[in-house]
Structure 1
Amino acid sequence: MAECDDPILRRDAQPRGETSILDRAVGAGELVRVRRGVYVTASRWDAARPEERMRLRAHALAAVASRAPVFSHATAAALHGLPVHRGDDGRVHTVELGPVPAPSRSDVVRHRHEVEAADIALVGQLRATNLARTLFDVLCAETAETAIAAMDAALRAVAWRGRGVYDERAAAVLLEDVAARVGLAAGARGIRRARFVASIADGRAQLPGESISRLWMSQLGAEKPVLQHSVPLEGGRWAYLDFAWPRLRRFGEFDGDGKYLDPALTAGRSPRAVLRAQREREGRIVAATGWTPVRWGWERLASRATFAAFLRSHGLLR
């Protein structure tokens, strides 16, 4: 048995055709075979989010490939730490650079696009398309919902400074790079969607649910919100609102599961403690502004029709 580049994965050194200790562990439910000869503990696999499974599959492929693959599209997005909303975590995407590209298979999609050497970067220990090229590919190949979540997250990573500070210049650099690629690909598959999504992308969104909500608001013709609107509170504190409609005297907050379960957002607090803090914060915002709060979660994003009805009920869509 040998370790792979990703320390979570284990590679089987047993000769092909022989039943190994790791194969027996798969049968016992202790391990999951990520691909032939590469395994991960079942507990880690079961707990992994789709993006982490994509990363594990990428490392597994790299561990057994005869030449180092260049990962692209949704797989590259996951390697860059971007959300891949409703992405297919059962397949790995690569871009083929050689003169005789290998064919795709059920779990590996091998793209044959032209990619400049400058568009290939080392992400951790793996080769992948760089951030701008990855975003371009995701914009063209994935749904608008998947694309906006990834695009917003990428902009947030390069431009969000915290406490309501958004580096417009840093965001513009990335946006201009992606927009230039879109502009050079007139007529390409998915380019109209890519152009639209890139035009509304904004790194002030914190979660995919916020990004998708804003996308659907735009598509439905709803009142355009102000993102991360700052509100001074008593005691010298500030609140930054997910969505604000000052003219309508309303503010909106998206309550995704991450607010209550993601350690990066909960700061060690229990879901109940987070909920209590959210309610107290909402009360202070209402006291400071006199505005009406509007809250929603994934249940309101079950479909655009469901979300449209919700927006109408709060006077945000005619």
Structure 2
Amino acid sequence: MTECADLILRRDARRRGETSTLERAVGDGELVRVRRGVYVAAARWAAARPEERMRLRAHALAAVATREPVFSHTTAAALHGLPVHRGDDSRVHTLELGPAPAPSRSDVVRHRHEVADADVSRIGALQATNLARTLFDVLCAEKAETATAAMDAALRAAAWRGNGAYDPAAAAALVADVTARIEQAPGARGIRSARFVASIADGRAQLPGESISRLWMLQLGAAEPALQQPVAIGDGQWAFLDFAWPRLRRFGEFDGDGKYLDPALTAERSPRDVLRAQRERESRVVAATGWTPVRWGWERLASRPTFAAFLRAHGLLR
């Protein structure tokens, strides 16, 4: 994560007499003002994902703050590398731990929660709540879709070993850490939703769309899928299916943009090459199992009724 290096500080420009030049660049659309006195190239900002913008805003606040901030909630989630599904990237979340806390502003939400010293960690140059505390805050404060995607991603980072290998003990340890915090705050706002999300989280989900699909399947009462179902597809190769319903002879794949565009998932292949590989893999799975493939993307997750109709059309929901 190189967000800090992307920022341009006005205090540096003053020494060179370039403040007015920066402001003209903002007017010309070459720079974006992240906050007062801190800028970033407009092309970099336009290309940034919401989580990247959250991190840019965090670094921008830290660069000009008179007291080092402690980032929390969705900002801390982004700093930990977690997805923040439909998160608000226009604001930064911080904890106010000292005396005379400053008030919230339009672009800074300041929380006044009690946290233990051990709950504050350092992520690079910034301070933020540690992973378990961040997950607790996100599970309590955000919608179930956002919370499930973040919790699944955290479990995947902790427990996924690749090639279908999943470490249940590592996943259970993180769930236990988050659940302990939930049980210690029985009357907290959003605690019932937090308890529910912690109970269904599963690190075998690879993308937020998979997490949200599974959440909605559960809420809708759809047939329960097996996750990362292994299928031998010949030549000593295996396919691990996002979703599988062996009894119904169907398997499901979520086709989010990340599968075709995210360098971490494409292995430097072009979208066309990824699509070709996906089609070949699907054909080999069908040949090996005789199951019917069911594919969907974000368009099917536009709303729960839309997804329900899709599942029903494929015999996965009555």
Q: TM-score range by the shorter chain?
A: over 0.9
Partner AA of 1:61 in structure 2: L
Deviation, 1:177, is 0.2
Alignment of 1:233-312 (within 5 A): 233-312=233-312
* Identity across matched positions, percent: 79
Task: Map Cα deviations across residues 209-237 of structure 1 (whole Å, 9 max, x no partner).
Answer: 00000000010011111110100111110
Task: Map Cα deviations across residues 209-266 of structure 1 (whole Å, 9 max, x no partner).
Answer: 0000000001001111111010011111000000011111111000001111111111
Alignment of 1:1-318 (within 5 A): 6-13=4-11, 14=14, 19-318=19-318
| Pairs aligned (count) | 313
SS in 1 for 2:172: helix
Partner AA of 2:255 in structure 1: D
CA distance in 2, matches of 1:5, 1:261: 20
Partner AA of 1:272 in structure 2: R
Deviation, 1:20, is 2.5
SS in 2 for 1:6: helix
SS in 1 for 2:317: coil
CA distance in 2, matches of 1:9, 1:77: 21
SS in 1 for 2:185: coil
CA distance in 2, matches of 1:233, 1:105: 56
User: Structure 2: which 5+ runs fail to align?
Assistant: none
Kept after mapping to 1: 8 A contact 2:3/2:52: no
Partner AA of 2:303 in structure 1: S
CA distance in 2, matches of 1:182, 1:218: 22
CA distance in 2, matches of 1:297, 1:171: 27
Partner AA of 2:101 in structure 1: P
SS in 2 for 1:87: coil
Partner AA of 2:193 in structure 1: R
Deviation, 1:288, is 0.6
SS in 2 for 1:305: helix
Task: Map Cα deviations across residues 132-172 of structure 1 (whole Å, 9 max, x no partner).
Answer: 00000000000100000000000000100000000111111
Task: Map Cα deviations across residues 258-303 of structure 1 (whole Å, 9 max, x no partner).
Answer: 1111111112222121111111100000111111111000000000
CA distance in 1, matches of 2:3, 2:228: 39
CA distance in 2, matches of 1:247, 1:19: 67
CA distance in 2, matches of 1:11, 1:61: 11
Deviation, 1:5, is 8.5
SS in 1 for 2:110: strand
SS in 2 for 1:277: helix
Kept after mapping to 2: 8 A contact 1:300/1:310: yes
Task: Map Cα deviations across residues 98-157 of structure 1 (whole Å, 9 max, x no partner).
Answer: 121100000000000111100000011100000000000000000100000000000000
Partner AA of 2:167 in structure 1: D
Partner AA of 2:7 in structure 1: L
CA distance in 1, matches of 2:81, 2:136: 16
Q: TM-score, normalised by structure 1?
A: 0.96
User: Structure 1: which 5+ runs fail to align?
Assistant: none
CA distance in 2, matches of 1:297, 1:21: 44
Q: TM-score, normalised by structure 2?
A: 0.96
